[in-house]
Structure 1
Amino acid sequence: MDGCSPIWIILAVAILFVLTVIVYLYSSAVQSINENELEEIKEKNEKTYQKVDKIINDPARFINTVQEVSVLITLITGICIGFRIDKVLLRIGMAVLWVIILLVFGIIIPKKLGSRHSKGISLKLTNITYMMTVVLMPVTFCVSKIADMILKISGIDPNEPEENVTEEDIISVINEGHVQGVLLASEAEMINNIVEFGDKEAKDIMTHRTAMVCVDGEMLLCDAAEYILGLNNSRFPVYIENIDNIIGIVNFRDIMSEAQREVNDMKKISDIPGLVRKASFVPETKKINVLFKTMQSEKIHMAIVVDEYGQTSGIVAMEDILEEIVGNILDEYDEEDVNIVRREDGAYVVKGSTPLEEIEEKLHIKFDEDCETINGYLVSKFERILENDERPEIVIDNVKYKVLSVKNRMISVVLITLSDDE
């Protein structure tokens, strides 16, 4: 080895270094290429497109080629440094210097350039990269088989498919994109909503039975028209005796049209043919992505949510489902529903139906109970149902909660005062 010419060593290292630059440049370009750029490559050069497509569809072989070239250049360079340099410290210094050069100029810079100029690099370097893959195929095949044998001996199936990307992975990428300024806050929030869309159930987004606006089926048409005239809703569940016995859905427009005819004014709305439409009933546990498809295909705008005992839990409208993606939708008749209002003294007036998540986000309070609303949380702490005239208060973790209003045995308004330490 001492008689080996340093020129050949330098030449071998230089060639392998150039090949390393090429494979990392091309690897980054192929990973960054999109469908539109692929179509442009196809229009310009069909053969190049076929090779690029083959590499994209079989990335394992190409990745092995990249790794083999990197290992070869590292190995040969290490051997050369070991044989041509006598002093140990000098060997270490040269090895470290070479690793830095390889990382910066052979890997990092080519990868960044490849991701920025994916189409042009794919057109120029596909042939040489494909040729390298073919030349190294025997080595790649042997190395892969040896690796598979070792994995099998270790009790691992090498052919087992890799785990799919999880929702957490996607959300992490979205948040990172927002932090880096690639995505606007509204865009990131919408994408997050879409990702989490399939995890939510009807009970998570429904209007609770206590907040439902319904029409009694025994009501006369003239009275029903007068009743709904002052409301903003476009559809109303119709019940007989109580809301656990819903017989259908009535449309605001249908009632007003029927009332204008002045034929059935003194009839009960449940007795007027065709006025009350059939209601759709769904369980509380129905996934909203499935519910959305069902309502869309069957042209349903409102569904009645029932619990495991068949009692009415609430209602879900198509608008409720869409709001889970795009956020709150307000029309010209809606007033924005504000759950938390900050007073001048720093305390917060909060509606009892406010979700704990919203309070945690805005007031930076942590709740230890498995409840959904501030009403449920305080009831669990008081350990009893409050009467309408009660105004108790309680301090939990240096946060003072004072009940301001109770309606129908539910806390409707509460005053939250944070301590100076919060």
Structure 2
Amino acid sequence: MSALVWFAVAAAALVLAGLFATLHMAIRQASLSRVEELAEERANPAMIRKIDALVRDADGHALAAAFPRVFFTFLFMISVVAWIAQVRHAGDPSSTDVILGVLVSSILAWVFAVALPVSVAEHAAERTIVRFCGLIRLLFIVMAPLRRVGAFFDEVVRRLVGDAERDSAEMLQDEVLSVVEEGEREGQIDEQARHMIESVMQFGWRTVEEIMTPRTEVDALEYTDDLAAVQSFVRDVGHSRIPVYRDDLDHVVGFLYAKDLLRWMSNPEGVDPAAFSLASILRPATFVPETKTVQELLKELLGHRVHIAVAADEYGGTAGIVTMEDIIEEVFGEIQDEYEAPSERPSVDIDRDQMRAELDARTRIDEANDLLDAIGITLPESEDYDTLAGLVIVKLGFIPEPGATVEIDGAILKVLEAEQTRVKRVEVHRMQDREGEGTRAVVAEDGPV
């Protein structure tokens, strides 16, 4: 063929390579919800049907657009080499022609089939998809055999790397979190906003067990009709809602709302304290499994119009108490109202200069790792424990006294406060880098070594 024909083929191939590269990248980059909105604005039923089909299998349509992108890029490179050969000596391509052709075609392909499509996909992905939805759907149908081959290799790779199959909801959540992190890096979202968004997104898999007040921390009233005893307990604990039990905390019979006690506490004329019956003012208790997700819990509390519930374990016992405030604190951080005594020390104290941190022992390991990342410490996670206290107890094999320490993976955990049945506060200190990281326990002089 003549030089002019090869030039025309190269030009057409470059245009088509750029077009399919743009479609491929646009599908990968686009907000599918925005694509649907644009299609609905056009009020074209045929277009809406095509867009709906595209959104249902965006990955498949992107894969369908990738093949012609590769094909026309390859054709463009061959055409450029042939064109150069015809221009230089009207014969078969020499090694010099091939080198020149590959160099020139690579530069042009990068500009028109990579850089330009990336720019279009970044700024006009949704509009591009809507405009070319017919072509994209046609490619999807024509490339069906190749799509099956692509899906096969995708499954092979997924199994080889051991990646668990995820549903679209999980992938969407990961995508949103990735966008949020990118926004923080670019300064468009501050750290507090990022934390709030991530917390809301985690509602789908964070459980009641992770946010509840554990049984050992619950202030509960044993059932009694002694008005003076009830009044004294309410004043002492300072809570607006108090669980009431019979025999033990595994038998919660209801919740006492402090406001329901006001008429008895004021002792107005005509009210006989001896006639007081706690059962008459108790609110029914709502029970939820500790494995319920925070998202499900929020729906249930709103549905029942209650602000507090009993978290039950698998044996039917009381695992703890969970409130609407606990859910809110997952988003906005710890809330301390005017009735709570101010903490003598912060729940988290991180000293970057000394490479140490002081934390509440109830802090969950994943949350602790987020905080300890500032001093370069990552604690091991395990199904055997959930919190810092659990980690220390599992590694030591007993409930330690203050002063006990344990070395784990380059970090020293020291017990600062403890009671007979639990660890309350822990200091985490980064060790100097050294060989042979592992676990080593060192306890108080009067304890085991």
Q: Please tell me the TM-score bracket, short chain as reference.
A: 0.7 to 0.9
SS in 2 for 1:237: strand
More deviation, 191-200/367-376: 367-376
Shift of 1:209: 1.2
1:32 to 30, 33, 57: 30
SS in 1 for 2:107: helix
| CA-to-aligned-CA distance 1:122-147 (integer Å, 9 cap, x gap) | 78xx3xx578679xx5x975653476
Q: Who is 1:104 aligned against? A: 111
- 1:25-104 alignment, distance < 5 Å: 25=22, 32=30, 46=43, 51=47, 54-55=50-51, 57-58=53-54, 64=64, 67-68=67-68, 71-72=71-72, 74-75=74-75, 77-79=77-79, 81-82=81-82, 84=86, 86-104=93-111
Shift of 1:177: 4.0
* Distance of aligned partners of 1:302 and 1:146 in 2 relative to their CA distance in 1, 3 Å threshold: closer
Identity of aligned residues (%): 22
- Are the counterparts in 2 of residues 405 and 414 from structure 1 also a CA contact under 8 Å? yes
- Are the counterparts in 2 of residues 259 and 265 from structure 1 also a CA contact under 8 Å? no
* Distance of aligned partners of 1:290 and 1:34 in 2 relative to their CA distance in 1, 3 Å threshold: closer
1:339 counterpart = 2:358: no
- Are the counterparts in 2 of residues 304 and 316 from structure 1 also a CA contact under 8 Å? yes
SS in 2 for 1:18: helix
* Distance of aligned partners of 1:408 and 1:217 in 2 relative to their CA distance in 1, 3 Å threshold: farther
Task: Return the alpha-carbon distance in structure 2 between the equivalents of residues 69 and 355 of structure 1.
Answer: 48
1:396 to 369, 392, 407: 407
1:319 to 319, 325, 329: 325
Task: Return the alpha-carbon distance in structure 1 between the equivalents of residues 93 and 247 of structure 2.
Answer: 99
1:380 counterpart = 2:391: no
Task: Return the alpha-carbon distance in structure 1 between the equivalents of residues 113 and 274 of structure 2.
Answer: 87
* Distance of aligned partners of 1:56 and 1:5 in 2 relative to their CA distance in 1, 3 Å threshold: farther
Between the two proteins, the alignment pairs up a number of residues equal to: 399
Q: Who is 2:379 aligned against? A: 366
* Residue identity in the other structure for 1:88: S
- 1:4-403 alignment, distance < 5 Å: 4-25=1-22, 32=30, 46=43, 51=47, 54-55=50-51, 57-58=53-54, 64=64, 67-68=67-68, 71-72=71-72, 74-75=74-75, 77-79=77-79, 81-82=81-82, 84=86, 86-117=93-124, 126=131, 129=132, 143-145=143-145, 164-165=167-168, 166-167=170-171, 169-170=174-175, 171-218=177-224, 220-262=226-268, 263-267=271-275, 269-271=277-279, 273=280, 275-334=281-340, 335=342, 338-341=346-349, 350-360=359-369, 361-362=371-372, 364=377, 366-367=379-380, 370-385=384-399, 391-397=402-408, 403=415
* Distance of aligned partners of 1:392 and 1:259 in 2 relative to their CA distance in 1, 3 Å threshold: same
Shift of 1:320: 1.2
Task: Return the alpha-carbon distance in structure 2 between the equivalents of residues 385 and 65 of structure 1.
Answer: 61
SS in 2 for 1:244: coil
Shift of 1:98: 0.4
SS in 2 for 1:71: helix
Shift of 1:404: 4.7
Shift of 1:10: 1.6
Shift of 1:395: 4.7
* Residue identity in the other structure for 1:204: E
- Are the counterparts in 1 of residues 11 and 76 from structure 2 also a CA contact under 8 Å? no
- Are the counterparts in 2 of residues 283 and 306 from structure 1 also a CA contact under 8 Å? yes
* Distance of aligned partners of 1:100 and 1:26 in 2 relative to their CA distance in 1, 3 Å threshold: same
Shift of 1:315: 0.5
* Residue identity in the other structure for 2:364: P
Shift of 1:254: 0.9
TM-score by length of 2: 0.72
Task: Return the alpha-carbon distance in structure 2 between the equivalents of residues 378 and 152 of structure 1.
Answer: 46
- Are the counterparts in 1 of residues 213 and 322 from structure 2 also a CA contact under 8 Å? yes
Shift of 1:246: 1.6
Task: Return the alpha-carbon distance in structure 2 between the equivalents of residues 351 and 114 of structure 1.
Answer: 47
| CA-to-aligned-CA distance 1:181-208 (integer Å, 9 cap, x gap) | 4443233323322332222222221101
Task: Return the alpha-carbon distance in structure 1 between the equivalents of residues 188 and 247 of structure 2.
Answer: 56
* Distance of aligned partners of 1:344 and 1:224 in 2 relative to their CA distance in 1, 3 Å threshold: farther
* Distance of aligned partners of 1:407 and 1:177 in 2 relative to their CA distance in 1, 3 Å threshold: same
More deviation, 354-363/195-204: 354-363
| CA-to-aligned-CA distance 1:301-344 (integer Å, 9 cap, x gap) | 11112223332221111221233334333434444683244689
Task: Return the alpha-carbon distance in structure 1 between the equivalents of residues 422 and 151 of structure 2.
Answer: 62
CA RMSD in angstroms, aligned pairs only: 4.2
More deviation, 292-301/75-84: 75-84
TM-score by length of 1: 0.76
* Residue identity in the other structure for 2:191: A
* Distance of aligned partners of 1:203 and 1:81 in 2 relative to their CA distance in 1, 3 Å threshold: same
Task: Return the alpha-carbon distance in structure 1 between the equivalents of residues 208 and 241 of structure 2.
Answer: 18
- Greater Rg by CA: 1
Task: Return the alpha-carbon distance in structure 2 between the equivalents of residues 287 and 352 of structure 1.
Answer: 23
Task: Return the alpha-carbon distance in structure 1 between the equivalents of residues 284 and 364 of structure 2.
Answer: 32
- Are the counterparts in 1 of residues 14 and 72 from structure 2 also a CA contact under 8 Å? no
- Are the counterparts in 2 of residues 237 and 249 from structure 1 also a CA contact under 8 Å? yes
